Amino acid sequence: QRRTFTAAASNYIDERTSLSTFVKELGRKAFPDHWSFLLGEIALFSFVVILITGTFLTFFFQASMAEVEYAGSYVPLKGVEMSVAMASTLDISFDIRGGLFVRQMHHWAALMFVAAIGLHMLRIFFTGAFRKPRELNWVIGFVMFILAMGEGFTGYSLPDDLLSGNGLRIIDGMIKGIPLIGTWTSFLLFGGEFPGTAIVGRLYTLHILLLPLILLALIAVHLLFVVVHKHTHYAAPGRTQMNAVGPPILPIYAAKAGGFFFLVFGVLALIASMFTINPIWNYGPYDPSPVSAGTQPDWYIGFADGALRLIPPGWEFVLFDRTWSFNILVPLIGLGLFIATVLIYPFIEAWVTGDKREHHIADRPRNMPTRTAIGAAGVTFYAVLWAAASSDLIATHFMLTMEGVIHTLQALLFLGPIIAYFVTKRVCIALQKKDREIVLHGYESGRIVKLPGGEFIEVHQPLDEYDRWRLVSYDTYEPLMLRPNDRGKITTGQRLRAGMSRWFFEDRIAPVTKGELEASHSNHH
Ligand code: HEM
Ligand code: HEM
């Protein structure tokens, strides 16, 4: 038999690397299918697009703040003094073939990247996919989320245009607002008085070397963990806590994911070619005096900008001949606490529920009303901060006073999450009740039948096996009970934990259990 070139080549490689064992093992792994599992992939594929386009940009971008007179082909700015960084970004946009397209693609991919990460994270949260054994992957993921925001911020600070300069000015102000060490820290970062001549070069090293390397390493570990833990799946016949049901990675899943990469790439290319993003030639070079109206950071930095706008002024006093300002420190600590809570949420929930089991079946969000309500409250908190980043635009568009908008948002920041918590919880419970009805009595058919005895009944349609698996819980868990310790005592810590556990499970209309289902069936018969 004649051996083809490919067979010979793969044999050559295999004899030297034993790669085939690995490929066989990995290729046979099952990868469960659901549209929401594509969110992580969109993040991954946008990152690949970012790497490709970013590398192109490094060939032409010059991270220098030396002053030059612009001499490129964009006429309105000819002769204007600007930094080399800005001039080279204008060159990328107007004088380098394909430059504007790649620049826009880099920026749009960055926006998509962070958006996909955010949605991916919400999917993980609301389905409880962060529970044992995936807690560490949640932490790694969240660290990547923060790094991605850092990448975005350092990225759009690079061109040294008016918008990026104003963004850096805010960061500088925040740093200087920290009592005692603020001014020194600012001088250290900027290499002297803001803006100095060093910051673009420093951010550049972070942007193209340090942060991407860390991200890349973490993504590798993240995906390795997805393979090691197996992917979660939604309940269905034959799917258990012990298996993963889906098409094998090779060839089906790999082909699908490969195709999906090109879709993501294509959509990003389409957006980049049709919609302008960051037209720095309209903003002009950075100059501390002008600020164009309605300027905003990229969407994912909005929440931090919003937090700054919502701080009530005047939290400062003079002591020991120094000004101690808490205008910045308090919200920074507040945001820090919020972020830290999200980071360790899997451990908090595990502690509160006392649930130490492994979970491979994803939750239906309604079956975990308290977690879902906490999530909704968190999203609302974030959304209010985000809205606050547009407080000036909200005021001008709706002809409101600036103070009115700010005060409303300040109140909403605290009331909104509470309202969202209770509304979400009630909605979840209502949906659970509906599920219960359906499981125990079947779907309403609208068909009324008269029995021989004269009684009218509505015929209910029994649900098929697939729906039953989806709706019935084979995996219930009870709140922690107060149990005396070895010395027969109940400590305050135990009381607190049991109380929180009861709160977590309270008014949970537990989904129908297997036992209930069987009981209802024998009744019917
Ligand atoms: C799963 C990529 C960020 C937590 C996945 C998967 C991919 C992926 C491709 C498998 C498919 C899927 O379930 O969507 C990424 C990339 C990220 C990122 C490229 C950003 C650079 C995050 C974040 C979190 C997170 C921010 C949470 C805070 C998880 C967890 C799983 C997972 C727990 C396992 C899910 C399961 O088995 O159901 N990630 N992710 N990831 N990701 Fe991410
Ligand atoms: C600029 C984001 C990774 C190279 C930018 C800009 C953003 C951004 C928003 C401003 C673009 C504009 O001018 O409108 C990101 C994000 C990344 C990432 C979120 C990773 C998650 C990279 C990598 C490289 C790179 C890995 C290099 C290999 C550049 C260069 C610029 C830039 C050279 C300056 C040119 C310009 O502003 O057009 N980045 N980037 N980026 N990025 Fe990235």
Residue 1's pLDDT band, with cuts at 50, 70 and 90, is: low
Q: Concatenated DSSP letters for 9-23?
A: HHHHHHHHH-HHHHH
Residue 247, pLDDT > 50, answer yes
Joined together, the tokens standing for residue 124 give 């993980």
Are 148 and 113 spatial neighbours (Cβ–Cβ below 8 Å)? yes
- Residue pLDDT, tens place only, 74-100: 999 999 999 999 999 999 999 999 999
Output the pLDDT for position 384.
97
Q: In this structure, what DSSP letter does residue 449 have?
A: E
What is the amino acid identity at position 210? L
pLDDT at 467 over 70: yes
- Closest ligand to Cα 107: 2
User: Ligand 1, atom 28: nearest CA belongs to which residue?
Assistant: 142
**What is the best residue among 88, 145, 158, 211 to mutate for testing ligand 2's pocket, by most ligand atoms within 8 Å of CB?**
158
**Ligand 2 pocket: which of 160, 207, 276, 298 to mutate (most atoms within 8 A of CB):** 207
CA 132, chain centre distance (Å)? 20
pLDDT in tens, 274-315: 999 999 999 999 988 887 777 788 999 999 999 989 988 878
**Exposed, middle or buried by CB within 10 Å (0-12, 13-18, 19+), for 410?**
middle
What is the Cα–Cα distance from 138 to 232, expressed in whole angstroms?
13
pLDDT digits (tens, 9 = 90+) for 437-461: 898 888 888 899 999 999 998 888 8
Residue whose entry in the numeric block shows the structure tokens 């850096």 = 168
In this predicted structure, what is the pLDDT of residue 523? 63
What's the pTM value of the predicted model, to 2 decimals?
0.93
Our answer on whether the CB atom of 120 is closer than 6 Å to any ligand 1 atom is yes
Go through 141-163 and write b for each residue having 16 or more CB atoms within 10 A of its CB, e for each that does not: bbebbebbbbbbbbbbbbbbbbb
140 with 389: CB under 8 angstroms?
Answer: no
The model's pLDDT over 91-135, given as tens digits with 9 standing for 90+, comes to 999 999 999 999 999 999 999 999 999 999 999 999 999 999 999
Residue 520 and residue 497: Cα distance in Å, rounded? Answer: 35
Q: Which of ligand 1's atoms lies nearest the C-alpha of 147?
A: 21
Specify whether the CB–CB gap between 385 and 303 falls below 8 A: yes
pLDDT for the residue 22: 87
**Atom 6 of ligand 1, nearest CA residue:** 40
Q: Select the more confidently predicted residue: 370 or 292.
A: 370
Contact 445, 459 (CB under 8 A): yes
ipTM of the complex: 0.95
Ligand of minimum distance to the alpha carbon of 300: 2
Which pLDDT belongs to residue 450? 94
Q: Which residues contact 444 (CB under 8 A, 6 or more apart)?
A: 458, 460, 461
Q: How confident is the model at residue 525 (pLDDT cuts 50, 70, 90)?
A: very low
Residue 137 CB–ligand 1 contact under 6 Å: yes
Distance CA 92, CA 273 (A): 15
- pLDDT tens column, 340-357: 999 999 999 999 999 999
pLDDT digits (tens, 9 = 90+) for 186-226: 999 999 999 999 999 999 999 999 999 999 999 999 999 99
CA–CA distances in Å: residue 217 to residues 90, 143, 227, 238: 32, 12, 16, 35
Q: What angle do CA 115, 118, 119 make, to 5 degrees?
A: 90
